[in-house]
Structure 1
Amino acid sequence: MMDKTMTFSVKDEKENEMKRILTTVYDALSQKGYNPVNQIVGYILSEDPTYITTHNNARSLIRHVDRDELLQAMVKSYLAD
C-alpha cells in the first residue's frame, strides 16, 4: 500500500482556500441581510473592501484572495459544468 507516490498540488490547495474564504464571505453577507452575489461582484469589480461586511472577519478574509486568481477559478468552474 505504501509503494505509491502521493502527489501534492499547490494550485489545488490554493483553489480550495479561495473556495473556503469565498464561502465564509458569502455566508457572512447572507447573515447580515445583503445579497452576497451582488456584494462580491461589486468587490471584484472595484476592489473596494466596503462591499464586504466585517461580520465574521469577512472583509479581512476576502483581501487575502487575489482577484485575478479568483476570477480565473470562477471562469474555470463555470465552464467545467
Structure 2
Amino acid sequence: MQEPTMIFSIKDDKEKEMKKILLAVYDALKEKGYNPVNQIVGYLLSEDPTYITTHNNARSLIRKIDRDELLHTLVRSYLNE
C-alpha cells in the first residue's frame, strides 16, 4: 500500500522560521528589560534596527526577516486567513 504524497510548502517553512526568529527577538528584548511588543512595532514601522537589542544576536536575527513579508503574515494571522 502506497503512502500519500506529502506536499512540501516553502511558505509554511518561511512562516515557521519567521515565528522562530520573532520569538527569539521577543525573548532577548524581554531579558534586557524592554517592552518587546513596543520595540518590535517600532522596528517594523521605522525599519530602524536600534529598536532591537544586540543581546543574543537579536538585531541580526530580525534583519533576516523581510519586513513586508512579516507584516503580511502578521495581518493574515490576526485575521485568521
TM-score category by the smaller chain? over 0.9
Deviations 1:23-79 (A, max 9, x none): 000000000000000000000011100000000000000000000000001001100
Partner SS state of residue 26, structure 2: helix
Identity %: 74
In 2, Cα distance between the equivalents of 1:2 and 1:63?
43
Shift of 1:4: 1.1
Gaps of 5+ in 2: none
TM-score between both structures, scaled by the size of structure 2:
0.95
* Matched residues, number: 81
Q: What is the match of residue 48 of structure 2?
A: 48
* 1:3 aligned partner: 3
Letter in 2 for 1:32: K
Q: Runs of 5+ in structure 1 lacking a partner?
A: none
- Aligned Cα RMSD in Å? 1.3
TM-score w.r.t. length of structure 1: 0.95
CA distance in 2, matches of 1:2, 1:37: 47
Partner of 1:13: 13
How far residue 3 of structure 1 moved from its aligned partner, in angstroms, is 2.7
After the TM superposition, which parts of structure 1 deviate over 2 Å for at least 4 consecutive aligned residues? none
CA distance in 2, matches of 1:79, 1:70: 14
Q: What is the aligned partner in structure 1 of residue 64 from structure 2? A: 64
Q: Distance in 2 between matches of 1:17 and 1:53?
A: 19
Superposed displacement of residue 6, structure 1: 0.8
